[in-house]
Amino acid sequence: MVVNDENSDKALELFLKIGLDERTARNTIANNKVTANLTAVIHEAALTNGCERTIGNLIYTVATKYPANALVHRPVLLEYVVSSKIKTPAQLEAAFSFFTNVASENFEKKEFEEACGVGVEVSLEEITQTVDEIFEENKSVILERRYRTNVGELLGSVRKKHPWADSKIAKKLVDEKMYELLGERTAADDEKPSKKKEKKEEPAKVDKKPAVDETPEQPSEEELNPFSIFPAPEDNIKVHTEVFFSNGSVLRCCNTRETLDKHLKVTGGRVFTRFPPEPNGYLHIGHAKAMFVDFGLAKERGGCCYLRYDDTNPEAEKKEYINHIEEIVQWMGWEPFKITYTSDYFQDLYELAVKLIQKGHAYVDHQTPEEIKEYREKKMNSPWRDRPMAESLKLFDDMKNGLIEEGKATLRMKQDMQSDNFNMYDLIAYRIKFTPHPHAGDKWCIYPSYDYAHCIVDSLENITHSLCTLEFETRRASYYWLLHALELYQPYVWEYSRLNVTNTVMSKRKLNYIVTNKYVDGWDDPRLMTLAGLRRRGVTSTAINAFVRGIGITRSDCSVIRLDRLEHHIREELNKTAPRVLVVLHPLKVVITNLESDSLMDLDAKKWPDAQANDTSSFYKVPFSSVVYIERSDFRMKDSKDYYGLAPGKSALLRYAFPIKCTDVILADDNETVLEIRAEYDPSKKSKPKGVLHWVAEPSPGVDPLKVEVRLFDRLFNSENPAELDDWLADLNPNSKVVIPTAFAVPALANAAVGDTFQFERLGYFTVDKDSTAEKLVFNRTVTLKDTYGKGGK
């Protein structure tokens, strides 16, 4: 990698933002490998807008010292650093040591946190007591050597007892104790010891640390890539899953060379993945992560990704959902290799079920759902488990032909009812449903289960990497058991942590409940974390993908991602793409008494903060007249030192216009409510008030400004994790949607179209809603201007 001057300037700016001093930042830029690695880590930690210096220093250490054999876990460590759960160099070094030993294997969160002292707080009193004890033990030596005492050894003793103590506090206490014991440093303390003395004394122990540029080799591009953890298709001949049976036998799952070669011949050695949503609702932000993993891996490896509808339950599926999924996948920026349906394979699945019965691995069962549950809890076999194969074949044929009532029979896989894995308790493969299918029509009255169909269709489509979230991990045994029993090609299965976000619910069941019971205004309500809702709110697909990429695709399933982390990515994107405009939400009339009532000026306002004067496209016109409107919250009857708005006798600057000074206030009959303000403007602009206000003026005398409706959206639930509450509906935020029916806007907004996004100066980012009409525009608040993510969000 060669860093040119432009890239150097960008890198320097980025490194200074995270708190590096200029010398260190410039030294870093001189080393291309360190520059590339640090830049990647900053983006991975979503800190491109900067952070506190203490966090930045830790980020720098991660970039230069993180073990290359455990890159899969680096996003997890960065979450701990950014959230200040790991906040000292000692904790970070412990994390490096832990991950060096773990490498790319899974690890227990509890073990990691114990190894790194996460949550351990060492009090000032504890450190003080330890320092006192160490000085008491070494008092005679310290009095003899005085200020030639090796302070590093004393601090090492403190660290030995309190490895997670704040080293700065420990150093301060040791220095204070030295002064307390020895008093002021004397000239004799600064004299060099004689050679004779030097020989008797032990040499000082110095921890030799590498200079800034002496860094580990920069990881390769592949190692920095989040998809590098996945094996190549030609490597799928290794045993990567073992299924343990209650009789002591073990199934070691892998493909034969013959099976793999046949598969590779069909695929040409390319990666094949699939994104398999069930069309029973609208996709949410958790599906955005699944898309990123499935489509992203295929794209990175030059392969193919199917969009496959997992349509095995005809009662829950609707054409509306199918159309939505296809459209939203494209909006997210992904292009399916092919669109398929599990129902496309119903005939194949049926024939393989017959084969499964013939091989003695399935049987027709007549237990009720309640009986099945009871027998599973007791690990008991069904009384029909050992019925003759011919009998099961006949009954399964009757099921297919509609000769058995719904609920009177199922086809179950003969797995292991005594297993320690409940997902091996003879799972149902087929059930009877006399319901037409949205895609397959009325051809079938038996439908395969997810557990039966999913793995088989993966195999039939020659999927190389079957990727899913961690709650499916216990199903891996059943997945491979079935493919082994049918002698089918076996994809590589890998589970990753699901995406959970604070202050919302992600369960389709809960989402469906609040939609159908009208707690929200449909699946695309801007308060929901559905992708349709986020889009309507004004969130871009690129911001969502950046958020997902920043989280990573590790197996760490230990946290709920704070909503402000998503909002951080939204702001970062909209700050670059949303032009600025002036809108007043709660107008308060200001009459400028020293400007003629029929006077009208057209002033230039900036669309972008860095607009160049010679670039006319970066400006828009705003009218300035004798009647302007400011935010009601920008006026007070009583002034104070920390207040920069308007008050009687006080001045404020109208952005892009002139300073104005309040000369009079018109009150209502209650003598409290402010009806109108009288003010004078300073056409010379000589006065320099500190406060800057946004405003909107009458476009012509007696004519109100452009009226728009503004909807202010906030978190849908008050609690961070409402799904854990028994009465989760009671946690709904009653103020999650506030409608302002008549806000005032500048004329430049009159031609805004649905989906256009703007920054309302001082207020936030807003997008034009689909409810807008020719008579009135409606704006949804996408996100406020304030970013809290850098203050501890994870």
Q: Which residues are catalytic?
A: 278, 498, 508
Count other Cβ atoms within 10 Å, centred on residue 711: 19
Are 552 and 75 in contact by the 8 Å Cβ rule? The answer is: yes
Q: Supply φ then ψ for residue 623, to 5 degrees.
A: -75, 145
* First and final C-alpha spacing in the chain: 31
What is the spatial distance between Cα 313 and Cα 647, in angstroms, rounded to a whole number?
A: 65
Instruction: Give me Rg for the CA atoms of the chain.
Output: 34
Closest CA to 276 of 293, 257, 301: 293
DSSP structural state of residue 790: G
Tokens in use for 420?
């320690």
What is the spatial distance between Cα 140 and Cα 609, in angstroms, rounded to a whole number?
A: 66
Are 55 and 237 in contact by the 8 Å Cβ rule? The answer is: no
DSSP codes joined into one string, 567-626: HHHHHHHHHHHPPEE-EESSEEEEEETTS-TT-EEEEEEESSTT--TT-GGGEEEEEEES
Q: Collapse the DSSP code of 721 into the 3-class scheme (helix H, G, I; strand E, B; otherwise coil) and give the result.
A: coil
Cα distances from 270 to residues 158, 387, 455, 461, in angstroms, run 56, 44, 19, 13
Are 794 and 568 in contact by the 8 Å Cβ rule? The answer is: no
Closest CA to 224 of 484, 1, 396: 1
Q: Supply φ then ψ for residue 149, to 5 degrees.
A: -60, 140
Count other Cβ atoms within 10 Å, centred on residue 450: 17
Are 590 and 657 in contact by the 8 Å Cβ rule? The answer is: no
Tokens in use for 105?
């294997």
Closest CA to 656 of 624, 613, 703: 624
Tokens in use for 550?
């920043």
DSSP structural state of residue 87: -
Q: Collapse the DSSP code of 447 into the 3-class scheme (helix H, G, I; strand E, B; otherwise coil) and give the result.
A: strand
Closest CA to 590 of 518, 676, 699: 676
What is the spatial distance between Cα 568 and Cα 305, in angstroms, rounded to a whole number?
A: 30
